[in-house]
Amino acid sequence: MKRRVVVTGLGLITPCGNDVTTTWTSIIRGQSGVGFIEKFDTEKYSVKIAAEVRNFDPLNFMEKKEARRMGAFTHFAIAASDEAIKHSGLVIDDSNAEMIGTYISSGIGDFWAIEREHDKLLSGGPDRVSPFFIPQSIVNLAAGNVSIRHGAKGPNTATATACAAGAHAIGDSFRYIERGDADAMICGGAESAITPMSVAGFASLKALSTRNNDPQKASRPFDAERDGFVIGEGAGLMILEELEFAKARGAKIYAEIVGYGMSGDAFHITAPDETGSGPKRVMLKAMKDAGIGPEQIGYINAHGTSTPYNDKYETLAIKLAFGDHAQNVAISSTKSMVGHALGAAGGIEAVFSVLAIHEKVLPPTTNYEFPDPECDLDYIPNEARVAEVEYVLSNSFGFGGTNACLIFKRFGE
């Protein structure tokens, strides 16, 4: 029998706040974290805006010597893991450490370290490259450092599945616990890729919004005047536990995770499947895994990137997967406020999905001003909506045609 898995802790570092409470309050108020890029000089760039994490100091979470050995995405993961574990009340000790794991993914890892050390190599030669360059930059070191910090000796892994990475981390962790490979997992995504090379690369792809004159209006999912995504950063983590393990220690339960689906478009390296087949199939797989029908989903946290094609074809996929119920289900894209955090997006949005259930309020899609005839569903425009929903579905799609879908349920015995 599959073991039941529940969410007992949440942690966030986002452009809207450096903890869960601050971020969620901003999201429900429809406040944007997008602004002008402060991390580097954008004078020569066509894109001058991003959703940067503000007022974050890693030294609030670790010693300076320790911080220097880590990349920025790992700093975010450490901070979010501390909050998630504190919220959960989970104590990791010799009695349980081997059954508690870490699965924290990233789309890119630390581009800052790559760019900085490459400059050192060119200007000063190979001896100038830091011995910490590799552990700062590689994708699995967020999970590795969180494991070391908290003494979690169970599964310790990561995936680099682009913008679906955080969702895959949570879904795979769900599977580990279901089948008995772990009793609890610290899981989600972390990213810090607002760098000169990364922004230049995404801009070259014509993927980013160039609405530089009005940053907070730039991310506008499903709106007819959307022109690209706003790159973001941060971390979204959660503690998943086997139900009896959580109940035995009297843990607070935010929600239950009941469904997970994966699919591939097999279509294009960056463009979404224009038939909507891949996203349709991943939603149907997740619902089948949860043992529910489309009519039971009350809210969808959409991938909703604010690019012309993604929003159009995600809308099509929802119609294909949900049939007549597509017109009744509430949908929103929180990327309208936090931007697109790439490999962290799925983790951040999974936390929002759980909060939507637990707090009984659905976050809005902000900047929805001009309806698009091809995006004609209920996107919760501009204002949050009080609603008690039983099931929430969260979509995450990535370059290479990789798709992930998570389903959370209001917890009941």
pLDDT, one tens digit per residue, over 342-372 is 999 999 999 999 999 999 999 999 999 999 9
Among the candidates 214, 248, 282, a domain finishes at 248
Residue 254 belongs to some domain of the structure: no
Q: Is 253 helix (H, G, I), strand (E, B) or coil?
A: coil
**Closest to 194 in 3D by CA, of 165, 234, 158, 166:** 234
Q: What are phi and psi of 404, to 5 degrees?
A: -135, 145
> Is 340 one of the catalytic residues?
yes
Rounded Cα distance, 228 and 275, in Å: 20
* Amino acid 230: pLDDT: 98
Instruction: Determine which one of 303, 358, 375, 405 is catalytic.
Output: 303
Please give the DSSP secondary-structure letter assigned to residue 126. Answer: G
Q: What's the rounded Cα separation, in Å, for the pair 88 and 219?
A: 33
pLDDT at 220: 98
Which residues face 35 on adjacent strands? 50
Residues 316 and 394 in one domain: yes
Within this chain, do residues 334 and 396 fall inside the same structural domain, yes or no? yes
Cβ burial 368-379 (10 Å sphere, 16+ → b, else e): beeebeebebbb
Largest CA distance in the chain: 63
Does 163 participate in catalysis according to the annotation?
Answer: yes
289 and 198 both lie in a single domain: no
Give the domain-ending residue among 218, 248, 278: 248
205 and 267 inside one domain: no
In a domain, 361, yes or no: yes
Low-confidence residues in the chain, pLDDT < 50: none
Whether residue 227 contacts residue 308, with contact meaning beta carbons closer than 8 Å, is answered with yes
* Residue the block writes with tokens 């959660």: 238
My answer on whether 284 and 240 are in the same domain is no
Could you give the number of structural domains in the chain?
2
Which member of 340, 358, 375, 405 is catalytic? 340
Burial category of 131 from C-beta neighbours within 10 Å (exposed 0-12, middle 13-18, buried 19 and up)? exposed
For residue 16, indicate whether it is catalytic: no
Task: Summarize pLDDT for 48-100 with one digit per residue, the tens.
Answer: 999 999 999 999 999 999 999 999 999 999 999 999 999 999 999 999 999 99
Give the phi and the psi of residue 46 in degrees, each rounded to 5: -75, -25
Domain boundary among 202, 227, 248: 248
Annotated active-site residue in 16, 163, 187, 375: 163
The tokens 């406020």 sit on which residue?
A: 337
Which CATH number goes with the domain that contains 89?
A: 3.40.47.10
Same domain, 155 and 223: yes
Whether residues 207 and 296 share a domain: the answer is: no
Phi and psi dihedrals of 376, rounded to 5? -120, 35
Q: Per the domain annotation, does 200 fall within a domain?
A: yes
Task: Give the number of other Cβ atoms within 10 Å of residue 254's Cβ.
Answer: 23
Let me know whether 373 and 230 are in one domain: no
**Predicted pLDDT at 1:** 76
Angle between helices 20-29 and 345-359 (to 10 degrees): 80
Q: Are residues 271 and 234 in the same domain?
A: no
- Strands 184-191 and 234-242, by their bridges, are antiparallel
In this structure, the answer to whether residues 243 and 263 fall within a common structural domain is: no
Q: What does the alpha-carbon distance between residue 117 and residue 188 come to, in Å, rounded to a whole number? A: 27
Among 92, 205, 219, CA closest to 146:
92
Query: Which residue range(s) make up the domain with 94?
Result: 5-248
